[in-house]
Amino acid sequence: MDNNIIIANKLSCKFHDRQILDNINFEIKKGKFVSIVGPSGCGKSTLAKVLVGLIPYEGYVNVCKMNVCPNNIEEIRKNIGIVFENPDNYFVIDTVEDELAFTLENLNKCPENIKKLIDEVVTYLKIEKLLKKNINELSGGEKQIVALASVLIAKPKILILDEAFTMLDGESHQVLLKLIRKIHQDKKITIINVTHDMSDTIYSDEIIVLNKGKIILDDSKENVYTQDKKLKTIGLNLPFMVDLSKRLSYYDLVDDMVLNMNTMVKKLWK
Amino acid sequence: MEIKFKDVDFSYNGNTSIENKVLNNININFESGKIYGIIGKSGSGKSSLIELINGILIPTAGKISVGKFKIEPKSKQKNMKQLRSNVGIVFQYPEEQFFCHTVKEEIEFGMRNFGIKTNVISKQTIDALKIVDLTEDYLERDPLTLSHGEMRKIAFASILAYNPKIIVLDEPTVGLDDLGKKNLIKIIRKLKLRYDKTIIIVSHDTNFLLQIVDHVYLLEDGTIGLSGDKYTVLSNEERLKKNNILVPDILAFSNLVMKKKNIKLGYRDDINDLIKDIYRHVK
């Protein structure tokens, strides 16, 4: 119980007459990488927004040991960083450096400290070259990394990604996904990855599957991957390597789940 | 309907000091009844290429023929109505372009614009809905209250309703979940097999392209970098990587087996066939 950084109890959410979230219960442990997946319209983005107090709800939600209510929202938001689908929607200033400083100025940090923190995050994410650039000059992938930087700089305890990979092309999609895994490993922060794409779940510890506002699976990644029939009924496909492992195991060619392509080739052709 | 690009150049601000050449000496033939994929990183000229097909842009050199219709540097945009009724472009996030109160008005708008006879409009509306697997129940609904996937379908139907012979889809899978993609593949196959359309798909989703296209063009800095059947182009790891594009998973696996074990599995577009190939080689 003490280890839970997020607790939702009998959480419901209505929009006009539609029940978006329907009496859901879950807990997320501190430091876990959790993916929340489901088909379009299942309520996953609504759920992410409830956690940061952007949407009214019924029931009980607790984030970082605080009840999500108007009195606590400011304090809760200091602990949560959220990256959305389209970075163009939330940049406010021209250059990358000023954008990063903006986050910190809002948190009343002193100028020397701001400089130090910017240096730190920029070095960590290896975006020194982008620092003086105008945000409009950046590619989609670079913009999303800057968005991530502007969130990480405040040292959040929880990082929420709300369809953050959707607009990126193949290569930058993989770069960002691997970067998130690195951040999770290095910084030990809790990651909540909201996505409609099962292949974005391969680095997570746990997966929560939502459909029509209800949780239909909430388990370790490995256990969720064994439920392929259930996933299929709501239109979700297994990630390629999971699917391949599973099909090869029917023919007794491999005996466990292999997520890495190199390892798979080595195993098959010993 | 066939589309031919002959030595086509296109520049923004042509013949000025800020001329920006986007496409350079493009030669392409798009045949009817075939599905083409166009890949390339942002800024490679993909959007300009598709906007040349229906005369939104006019080439600065060379000639484009779309069926009997010719587009040349001296062509005037105002004479393009007949061409445009034959080329339906579904842009990225088509749902953001809705402006009517009901699905019916939205789908009928294109047809009225192209002067299609009133007595066939309602039949063609229903036919278009059928192609995208929606029923007549949707006609009176407000498009903005529909789900993402449904909005995409309505946007697609509003193009199909005026029956263009050429269909261009710009990044159709962005934001679609697996089910949405599966439905889209079904619709596109139907259009190819039953309606003999020429279909052009611009996309960076190579897993999706591998399942559906016949031929792929890779655009590199405004020229055709690679052209060939889907397996040849989409398995070219080195060139795709240079352009920020991922090789589809199935082909990447075959490539890796070739590289590490020097075993030629062959290229497939279905995971079941890949499994059979692996089985044959391992057992």
Answer yes or no: is pLDDT of A1 > 60.
no
Using a CB–CB cutoff of 8 Å, tell me whether A270 touches chain B.
no
**Cα distance between residue A160 and residue A58, in whole Å:** 21
CATH fold of A4-219 reads Rossmann fold (3.40.50)
pLDDT digits (tens, 9 = 90+) for B14-33: 778 888 889 999 999 999 88
| Neighboring chain B residues of A252 at a CB cutoff of 8 Å | none
Q: State yes or no: pLDDT of A248 exceeds 60.
A: yes
User: For residue B120, what pLDDT is reported?
Assistant: 93
Note every long-range contact of A231-236, with CB atoms under 8 Å and residues 24 or more positions apart, other chains counting: A231/A198, A234/A38, A234/A39, A234/A42, A234/A209, A234/B179, A235/A39, A235/B177, A235/B178, A235/B179, A235/B180, A235/B182, A236/A37, A236/A38, A236/A39, A236/A198, A236/A209, A236/B177, A236/B178, A236/B179
Instruction: Mark out chain B residues that contact chain A at CB-CB < 8 A.
Output: 41-42, 147-149, 174-180, 182, 204-207, 241, 244-246, 249-250, 252-253, 256-257, 260-261, 263, 271-272, 274-275, 278-279, 282-283
Q: Which of A140, A244, A261 sits opposite B271 (nearest CB)?
A: A244
Mean pLDDT confidence for A155-175:
89
ipTM: 0.83
Per-residue pLDDT of A222-245, as tens digits, reads 999 999 999 999 989 999 999 999
Which chain B residue lies closest to A262 (C-alpha atoms)? B256
pLDDT digits 0-9 by tens, A71-129: 999 999 999 999 998 888 878 888 999 999 998 998 888 888 999 999 999 999 999 99
The whole-number pLDDT of residue A177 equals: 93
Structure tokens at B278: 């692996």
- The answer to whether residue A255 neighbours chain B at the CB level (below 8 Å) is no
Alpha-carbon gap: A232 to the closest alpha carbon of chain B (Å): 9
In this complex, is the C-beta atom of A177 within 8 Å of any C-beta atom belonging to chain B?
no
Which DSSP letter does residue A201 get? G
Best residue of A86, A137, A138, A169 to probe chain B, by most B CBs closer than 10 Å: A169
Q: Flag whether pLDDT at A192 surpasses 90.
A: yes
pLDDT at position A141 is: 85
Residues in chain A with CB shorter than 8 Å from the CB of B261 are: 265, 269
CA distance B16 to B262: 54
pLDDT at B15: 79
pLDDT score, position B194: 84
pTM: predicted TM-score of the whole model, two decimal places: 0.88
Chain B positions touching A40 (Cβ under 8 A) are 147-149, 175-177, 180
Rounded CA separation B37/B169 (Å): 10
Cα B3 to Cα B69: distance, rounded to the nearest angstrom: 9
Chain A interface mutation, best of B174, B178, B268, B283, highest count of A Cβ atoms under 10 Å: B178
Q: Name the pLDDT band for A171 (thresholds 50, 70, 90).
A: confident
Nearest CA to A146 out of A160, A126, A166 is that of A126
pLDDT at residue number A50: 94
- Domain boundaries of chain A, sorted by first residue: 4-219
Ranges under pLDDT 70 in chain B: none
Predicted pLDDT of residue B177: 85
Cβ pair A67, A6 in contact under 8 A: no
Residue A7 binned pLDDT confidence (cut-offs 50, 70, 90): very high
Q: pLDDT, tens digit, for every residue of A205-218?
A: 999 999 999 999 99
Q: What is the pLDDT of residues A156-165, one digit of tens each?
A: 999 999 998 8
DSSP states of B7-52: EEEEEETTTSTT-EEEEEEEEEEEPTT-EEEEE--TTSSHHHHHHH
Q: What number is the average pLDDT over the span A171-196?
A: 93
**pLDDT greater than 60 at residue A52:** yes
**pLDDT band, very low/low/confident/very high, at A147 (cuts 50, 70, 90):** very high
Distance CA A187, CA A183 (A): 6
Calpha distance A111→A232 (Å, rounded): 53
Identify the helix (H) or strand (E) that includes residue A218: strand A214-220
Distance (Å, whole) CA A97 – CA A79:
22
